[in-house]
Amino acid sequence: MRIWIFFVLFCSLIGCKKEQIVSNEIKKNADIISEKPTQDSLLTKPTRPEVFEFVTELCDSKGQFDATKYSRTEIEGTYKLWFQMGGVQLDTPSVFDLEDLEKVRNNKTLILNKLDKDFVANKKIIENLKIVNVPYWQNIKNLQYKSLQQEYEKKKLQIAAYSDPSILINNKFTGNCRNFEKSLNANDDEMIAEWRKLREEMSKRNGNPQRIINEFEDHLNSSSRKDYAIIDLITFGWGNCVNEYIERLNMMKK
């Protein structure tokens, strides 16, 4: 009987202790929960979504932006910067044959004046664009401006060089394309050697390589061979070489 009473008391004590532990734990958790700050819904800044419709190369699109963070003018400016200014190129005549060369030489002043005006107009457009004011888009804007500046300087040199190849000596673009600048201002043998080398390289990238070589041989035996050499060494030589070093936005990687 005594053993049974102790057993009951022991169990009662354990039960009370366990109940007290659980009770204390619940109280502790309740205190933690009561101390956790509640978010005031009045402090949460409401959004104001607005619709922006725009056109890409393949389709008409529609999106939303938070008008409490960005203005419509900024969204429109950013769209224009990316989709409309990314492919801006200053227009100058291409020179592929003697007729093109003669036109550029005869109209050099008019071509350069138009180039100046086009550059100033496009420069002003980029400068006045109001875009989303975050580092990413500001960097894109700076890159577009830099690309336009370099394209302008390169084309200005190239148009002038068709009349006077010596203008290519010692400018910031020629450093990486010095072989073409040297050959254009060297004796006939050196010019022809670089010209031949260029044509051989062009033939390797052409679907009809023999045509490129045959054309070179015909031009080499022409009384206008120096002009033919100038066309190739500036258009396909120096011009293409410099193009690789102009900083441009590569949209395919974005």
Local confidence band at 144 (pLDDT 50, 70, 90 cut-offs) = very high
Alpha helix stretches (DSSP H) within 129-184: 135-161, 178-184
Residue 186: CB partners within 8 Å, gap ≥ 6?
Answer: 194
- pLDDT attached to residue 12: 37
Rg (CA), the chain: 37
Cβ count near 87 (within 10 Å): 9
- pLDDT attached to residue 17: 40
Please give the distance of CA 179 from its chain centroid, rounded to a whole number: 28
The pTM is what?
0.76
Do the beta carbons of residue 104 and residue 164 sit within 8 Å?
no
Average pLDDT over residues 232-242: 97
Query: pLDDT digits over 170-223, tens only?
Result: 888 888 899 999 999 999 999 999 999 999 999 999 999 999 999 999 999 999
The answer on pLDDT for 134 being more than 90 is yes
Cβ count near 103 (within 10 Å): 14
Where do the DSSP E strands lie in the chain?
Answer: 49-55, 60-66
Q: Using N-to-C axis directions, what is the helix angle for 188-204 and 209-220, rounded to 10°? A: 160
Please give the distance of CA 177 from its chain centroid, rounded to a whole number: 23
Q: Any bridge partners for residue 60, and if so which?
A: 55
- pLDDT attached to residue 44: 59
Longest alpha-carbon distance in the chain: 135
Do the beta carbons of residue 164 and residue 240 sit within 8 Å?
no
Where do the DSSP E strands lie in 24-170?
Answer: 49-55, 60-66
Residue 91: CB partners within 8 Å, gap ≥ 6?
Answer: 118
Local confidence band at 27 (pLDDT 50, 70, 90 cut-offs) = very low
- pLDDT attached to residue 58: 80
Average pLDDT over residues 138-159: 95
